[in-house]
Structure 1
Amino acid sequence: MIKDKDYYLDWIYQRGNSAGKRRDLSAIKALLNELGNPQDKLKVIHIAGTNGKGSTANFIANTLSLKVKCGLFTSPYMVEINEEMKINGISISDDDFFTYIEMIKPICERLDEINLKNTYFEVMTALMFKYFYDKKVDVCVVETGLGGTLDSTNVVKKPIASLITTISMDHTNILGNTIEEIAQNKAGIIKDNVPVFIYPQDKPALDIILKEARVKNAKIYDFKLDEIKIKNENESFNEFDFRSYKNIKTSLIGKIQIYNACNAINLLDYFKDEYNLDDKTIKKGIYESTNPGRLQIISKDPKVLIDGSHNKESIDVLINSLKNFKYDKLIVGFSVLKDKDYKYIIEKLSQEADEIVITSIDNPRAFEICELKEIVKEKNPNVKAIKDRKKAYEYTKSNAGSNDLVLWCGSLYLVGEILKFENTYKNL
């Protein structure tokens, strides 16, 4: 039997998620044990938080990659599953991916029989640790998938650093109904005597992190917003000073990326001697970092902006960032899942949009398109529903003038599909 990529993708996707599954780390620990516990033999920088994990992880990994062999694990992917694990910016090859699935598949099937089923994300996590170990990376930057305490990546006993980005309300059905519960879950990545780098948090979340750090004797490395001097913020780049670092630029746009970059620089500065990082290397690494699907311009005529914002905090950041763009009319392409703060998201987008185009998402938690249209219509009467995502995207582009802005947001998975559509057009 000749196995193509779909064969391997079908197998891993059918592993499913943690819905209805016992919430502990026993399954992935059993899988990793069969693989020789590679996670215990790696230098890991572990990252948790609600928003900004991917951008911060990319800032750190891209900078380290200029000096050493650095692995990066982030999720979800935008276009290809291979994007979730990279070494010095290069995604795992199809051949390597298939080889590791072939290695892991029979182990998983044996574990299934003793009620230790590994989900899609647990398989990806185990595959990543084994891949990075076999490829002899010097260090790896690992982003949690969801939460911290019971996240699959939290099998690392002794990372070289933990980093926590901004914390806000999201995934409340799993992580908790209060900011304190969510913060406690994220703080689960803090380990004994391991330094913790943190984004400036609001007090309830900050108190939880500080308390957990004290319990674990983990030294906190934080920064204050008044240590940052913003010099330029526009639709192409940010420029700022941070402590002794002058004229730092990010090609990732939006003010939030300045703060994410400072969180990354705070950590990189700590490892300056160990990884031979001078100021020039850090500035270059920060500027050349990318993070697809986050305030990313994918077309210039008409101008199309995509952003994976799907919760209250990230939508606020997106709306605030729109002030850096000049446009006559804003056309918003959009869809959202029922378990998100959809009323708030719709209200905020409706205040900005001249027209809203809604479409469908392939997800059991998605709205029926007619239902979503009625909800949006209450806030913005100029709404159009197009079920086919590609046709919806083509409509927003064809309806935009040369001075208009098209914005697609509401779901990372939807944004990933929009990016695929645009890449297809460019390759024709």
Structure 2
Amino acid sequence: MDLGLERIQKLLSILGNPQEQLKVIHVAGTNGKGSVCAYTASVLRQLDLTVGRFNSPHLIEPQDSIYINDGPVSKEEYDRTLLYVERVNNDQQLFASSFERLVATSLLIFVNHTLDWVVMEVGLGGTLDATNVFKHPKMTIITSIGWDHATILGGSMESIAQAKAGIIKPHCPVVLAPQDESDISNTLVQQAMKLNAPFKLVKEAKQRKEEGEGDYRLELDEHIYDYSVPLRGDYQRANSATAITGLIWLRDLGDIQFTDKQLQEGIAKTYWPGRLEQIPSTILKGGQKLPSILVDGAHNAPATRALRKYLDDTMDSKQQQQQQQQQKKSIIWIIGVTTGKDIKEMLQILLRPQDSIFAVPFSQPVGMPWIESVSPQEIKDIADKLLVKDVKTFGNLKSCLQALPNNDLNYKVVICGSLYLVADFYRFLNENKK
């Protein structure tokens, strides 16, 4: 992968530098970027502001990466704009990558819609990522940083953190999410201080003891914010707090105005698919019954650790309520992984002795030739070395789903390993629902 800003900057210059015409919140990090973007955009929409949002990779179709207000841009507008960008790229022989062309397309579309705000997610890293073209973003946000893309970003946690910190701009406010390692926080803070960028260190929200999962309390600047999130997972305490800290700061700076109630309502309306999303049991064409399936895009060690914790918390809680159950419910893991990931570590985190693995490939994502799916046999080989007793391989997701046992009382099904696999599952549902 050839990272760098020269090509995208030349392309945007020819296109009229649309990035300079936008009011941008730029978000980097390893995990939590997407949900922080979703929370932020949802609150801005609650204020009746027009909002563009860029997230990658796309989920179902390429245009899903580009949101205008409450939904993806139309396929017609996406195709038309992308064709124009590609024509400029080819005519000028810029050799911009497909991701760089996607970023340029999104920025042109955002300018054409005359938006109040744009929430922009980094693709990979930060310093040399194609989204890092904003000289004066209104705010930058860096979410949780973990071990991912290490071969590209330098091979150490410090180099990964430095790459993420590359989106920090001189004198631009930066919100820094809680980090698992103090060295990571120190690296981010040092970069902010070096650039005279004011920064805020986020404190995780706390669970409101008298309420249920997802009901949080955040103490910020001597004010208490009580709110509920629709997204599952304990890590949403940090993600939601990060988004709210940024929004409150923008309010203090005079860039937006909102009440506590508007904040609560905007957070509560947030939707972010493919992250700890429980899909109910479904009857498919032909009469096949698909059991309820938990889908999650966990694709690295920190994300799989969070997924495992969520399952342990929820399954243990249910088993305490059902004292008669003698053994723990097993999990069938439907797993597809992108090349370059540490599959061994992911499996070690996820698996318990009673679990099974259904290893599958995912389909090639449109417009992303650099993405490759690990072969199911490679996943099996690694699982065998870990002495996993029940491992099956499948040529595609459809055959895998058809092989699920009929009795869904004694096991739970989880799809994870890659958002590309999650996307395949959503496509399968859309095409095969009765």
**What's the TM-score once normalised by structure 1's chain length?**
0.89
Greater shift in the superposed pair: 410-419 or 268-277: 268-277
Q: Which residue of 2 aligns with 1:417?
A: 424
Question: 2:97 aligned with 1:96, yes or no?
Answer: no
> Which amino acid in structure 2 is aligned with residue 26 of structure 1?
E
C-alpha deviations, 1:171-216, integer Å up to 9, x for none?
A: 0111111110000000000001000001112211111111110111
Task: Tell me which of 100, 103, 121 is aligned to 2:99.
Answer: 121
Task: Tell me which of 29, 49, 53 is aligned to 2:9.
Answer: 29
Q: Which residue of 1 aligns with 2:367?
A: none
Q: Which residue of 2 aligns with 1:387?
A: 395
Greater shift in the superposed pair: 27-36 or 385-394: 385-394
Q: Which residue of 2 aligns with 1:258?
A: 237
In 1, Cα distance between equivalents of 2:354 and 2:72: 36
In 2, Cα distance between equivalents of 1:90 and 1:165: 24
Structure-2 change in CA distance of 1:256 and 1:168 (3 Å): same
Question: 2:373 aligned with 1:337, yes or no?
Answer: no
Q: Which residue of 2 aligns with 1:15?
A: none
> Which amino acid in structure 2 is aligned with residue 324 of structure 1?
T
Q: Which residue of 2 aligns with 1:368?
A: 375
> Which amino acid in structure 2 is aligned with residue 45 of structure 1?
I
In 2, Cα distance between equivalents of 1:343 and 1:321: 20
What displacement does 1:362 show? 4.4
What displacement does 1:399 show? 4.1
Structure-2 change in CA distance of 1:353 and 1:233 (3 Å): farther
What displacement does 1:352 show? 6.5
Question: 2:165 aligned with 1:187, yes or no?
Answer: yes
> Which amino acid in structure 1 is aligned with residue 374 of structure 2?
F
C-alpha deviations, 1:19-53, integer Å up to 9, x for none?
A: 2x3x3211111111111101011100000000100
Task: Tell me which of 59, 68, 83 is aligned to 2:39.
Answer: 59
> Which amino acid in structure 2 is aligned with residue 349 of structure 1?
L
Question: 2:238 aligned with 1:238, yes or no?
Answer: no
What displacement does 1:422 show? 2.1
* Paired residues of 2:234 and 2:310 also in contact (CA < 8 A): yes
Structure-2 change in CA distance of 1:223 and 1:371 (3 Å): closer
Question: 2:153 aligned with 1:175, yes or no?
Answer: yes
C-alpha deviations, 1:335-394, integer Å up to 9, x for none?
A: 223411111111222227522111123467443323321321333111111112211123
Task: Tell me which of 15, 21, 39 is aligned to 2:19.
Answer: 39
In 2, Cα distance between equivalents of 1:65 and 1:221: 24
Q: Which residue of 2 aligns with 1:10?
A: none
Structure-2 change in CA distance of 1:365 and 1:425 (3 Å): closer
Structure-2 change in CA distance of 1:109 and 1:155 (3 Å): same
* Paired residues of 2:343 and 2:382 also in contact (CA < 8 A): no
Question: 2:309 aligned with 1:320, yes or no?
Answer: yes
Hey, which of these two has a bigger chunk of helix by percent?
1
In 1, Cα distance between equivalents of 2:45 and 2:23: 14
Q: Which residue of 1 aligns with 2:295?
A: 306
* Paired residues of 1:233 and 1:324 also in contact (CA < 8 A): no
What displacement does 1:246 show? 4.1
Q: Which residue of 2 aligns with 1:207?
A: 186
SS at match of 2:352: helix
Structure-2 change in CA distance of 1:44 and 1:309 (3 Å): same
> Which amino acid in structure 1 is aligned with residue 401 of structure 2?
Y
Q: Which residue of 1 aligns with 2:358?
A: 357
Q: Which residue of 2 aligns with 1:85?
A: 66
> Which amino acid in structure 2 is aligned with residue 89 of structure 1?
D
* Paired residues of 1:72 and 1:140 also in contact (CA < 8 A): yes
* Paired residues of 2:339 and 2:372 also in contact (CA < 8 A): yes
In 1, Cα distance between equivalents of 2:265 and 2:299: 30
In 2, Cα distance between equivalents of 1:217 and 1:63: 28
* Paired residues of 1:250 and 1:287 also in contact (CA < 8 A): yes
Question: 2:127 aligned with 1:149, yes or no?
Answer: yes
Structure-2 change in CA distance of 1:233 and 1:331 (3 Å): farther
Q: Any unmatched runs of 5+ in structure 2?
A: 283-290, 320-328, 365-370
Task: Tell me which of 178, 195, 204 is aligned to 1:216.
Answer: 195
Question: 2:258 aligned with 1:277, yes or no?
Answer: yes
What displacement does 1:278 show? 1.1
Q: Any unmatched runs of 5+ in structure 1?
A: 1-18
Structure-2 change in CA distance of 1:104 and 1:365 (3 Å): closer
* Paired residues of 1:331 and 1:400 also in contact (CA < 8 A): no
> Which amino acid in structure 2 is aligned with residue 255 of structure 1?
D
What displacement does 1:65 show? 1.1
SS at match of 2:119: strand
Greater shift in the superposed pair: 372-381 or 147-156: 372-381
> Which amino acid in structure 1 is aligned with residue 54 of structure 2?
F
> Which amino acid in structure 2 is aligned with residue 425 of structure 1?
N
* Paired residues of 1:334 and 1:410 also in contact (CA < 8 A): yes
What displacement does 1:106 show? 1.5
In 2, Cα distance between equivalents of 1:353 and 1:253: 25
SS at match of 2:228: strand
In 2, Cα distance between equivalents of 1:139 and 1:367: 38
> Which amino acid in structure 2 is aligned with residue 224 of structure 1?
K
Task: Tell me which of 166, 169, 175 is aligned to 1:197.
Answer: 175
In 1, Cα distance between equivalents of 2:60 and 2:87: 27
What displacement does 1:403 show? 5.8
Aligned residue pairs, count: 400
In 2, Cα distance between equivalents of 1:358 and 1:329: 16
What displacement does 1:404 show? 3.4
RMSD: 1.9
In 2, Cα distance between equivalents of 1:418 and 1:192: 43
* Paired residues of 1:334 and 1:359 also in contact (CA < 8 A): yes
* Paired residues of 2:168 and 2:192 also in contact (CA < 8 A): yes
**What's the TM-score once normalised by structure 2's chain length?**
0.88
